[in-house]
Structure 1
């Protein structure tokens, strides 16, 4: 059985606080663009290319019905479109429209700019160590 040390608790607490900070940054940067944080997350995910509803639901950690409602709202705003799946004619994929891609790029640039702004207080060696540590954690997920 693993024991929890004070350092482990500090690390866990810091990571949870970081998650909340990043969620707050998404909210702060998405609001001026007329997006909810969840919509901003969705359009940013779609910058990688069209995706099916099941994959999007898993990536965003939301129920398919919630995702369907979100896609419906974004589709009414002409930011996303449902397109035929290339190999399964029963399914569709969600893709960005040109307007959606522009907005997604703005959302991505806004949040990354804020993160860059926050991390510039760290020395370069600390940023490199943090980057390496986070990449290791992300590879485990």
Structure 2
């Protein structure tokens, strides 16, 4: 829901939950009862479901927007699959493209890319593109510029 809330849930048998609740009260003085109350109301009143629906719609739109840009600017440079969910699209760059050189060239222009090798040391072919964080304008500008850099490598 929100990274700053620092609230989690656990499900289990009543005796286990009671014991864990007791331990939590004895050891955790930083949890906000107000935050917990707000989240409880948010969940109970269905606001969270509405929030999820809105986020899913936004992510689907952003994914489609990103796919359009990729289709226009990356068709000859890379391949990709359309994800069914999530925040990322994995690009498989053509074999003659050095991701290492691309990483440093992009970094000099203020574009941070995530090479596949961050996630798998043997992956030298992929980039993980996030379509969820940047503004639509920055996403478009960054991808277009990235395609230009790839063509010039």
Q: TM-score range by the shorter chain?
A: 0.3 to 0.5
Q: TM-score, normalised by structure 2?
A: 0.30
Q: Which has the larger radius of gyration?
A: 2
Higher relative helix content: 1
